[in-house]
Amino acid sequence: MQISDEEFVLLRDFIYLQCGIFIAENRKYLVENRLSNRIKELNLKSYNEYYNFLRFDANRRKELNKLFEVVTTNETSFFRNPPQLEVFQKSVLAETLEQCRKSGQKKLRIWSAGCSTGEEPYTLAIILHEVLKSDIRTWDIKITANDLSEAVLAAARRGVYNEYALRT
């Protein structure tokens, strides 16, 4: 099933308004590939019908969750981006910890947005343990992790990983 340019723009803009994910024109195939199965499962005839389903159907909330799951790319692993993590550890974290110590407030809050199946926030926790060592017990630390996909959040909560997730 092919998506027309008009249908692509409708769905692309709708997706952006719902969750902030922008899909560029050159990724039209991605929308077509990822949404065609949803259209078939819902017994709809076109992408335009799917758009209207997402806007007006009584089950649209449930379908929005499925939409978010198919349009997001959940590529992740522990220590996935070493240069980024090095900057976090040696610059951002070091400076933040020093400021906390100087103020006498050993309280740290970290937000892992788009955490997928949890490897990134768990990586941050490992880094904190490596940096703070046994002193970590004296800190009030919370890492908040969220994602659009309920399915990947459930996997993150389980915290069970295979060798592929540990590849780096």
Instruction: Quickly count helices (H) and strands (E) in the chain.
Output: 8, 2
Bridge partners (DSSP) listed for residue 143:
110
Question: Dihedrals φ, ψ of 111, to 5°?
Answer: -115, 125
Question: Dihedrals φ, ψ of 143, to 5°?
Answer: -110, 115
13 classed as catalytic: no
The active-site residue out of 34, 55, 57, 109 is 34
Q: Retrieve residue 10's tokens.
A: 């409708």
Give how far Cα 160 sits from Cα of 16, 109, 118, 154, 156, Å: 31, 24, 10, 11, 8
Q: Is the dihedral of CA 54, 51, 15, 38 positive or negative?
A: positive
The active-site residue out of 5, 109, 147, 157 is 147
57 classed as catalytic: no
Residues assigned a catalytic role: 34, 147
